[in-house]
């Protein structure tokens, strides 16, 4: 039985010199729904309308919880390497 169906594309490698780590004890969400104690979202797969939907994990999207590509700017500005979670209805 498949417990955790994660499919990984072959990752793009980068040089060790470009690796930038985050400060361990900093918050990572600047502005999204800060009035909530914990920002949790739910995706109902039966209601997904598109074959692929990208969900933000960088906390910089203007359409959070969806990814709007803002991770690109964040990664460039900070040297980070974060990206979205892709939810796929078909292979």
Residues of this chain that bind ligand FES (CB under 6 A)? 56-58, 60-61, 67-71, 83-84
> 40-76 burial, b for 16+ CB within 10 Å, e for fewer?
eeeeeeeeeeeeebbebebbbbeebbebeebbeebbe
Name the residue nearer to ligand FES (CB basis): 53 or 56.
56
**Interaction partner, residue 81 (its own copies, ligand FES, none; CB < 5-8 Å by kind):** its own copies
73 is catalytic: no
- State the minimum distance, in angstroms, from the CB of residue 54 to ligand FES: 6
Q: Which of 1, 13, 38, 50 is catalytic?
A: 38
Q: Taking a C-beta distance cutoff of 8 angstroms, is the pair 39, 29 a contact?
A: yes
């Amino acid at each position: 039985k498949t417990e955790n169906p994660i499919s990984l594309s072959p990752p793009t490698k980068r040089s060790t010199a470009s690796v930038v780590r985050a400060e361990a004890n900093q918050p990572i969400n600047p502005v999204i729904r800060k009035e909530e104690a914990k920002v949790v979202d739910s995706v109902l797969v039966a209601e997904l309308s598109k074959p692929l939907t990208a969900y933000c994990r960088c906390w910089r999207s203007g359409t959070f919880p969806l990814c709007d590509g803002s991770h690109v700017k964040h990664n460039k500005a900070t040297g980070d390497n974060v990206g979205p979670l892709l939810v796929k209805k078909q292979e």
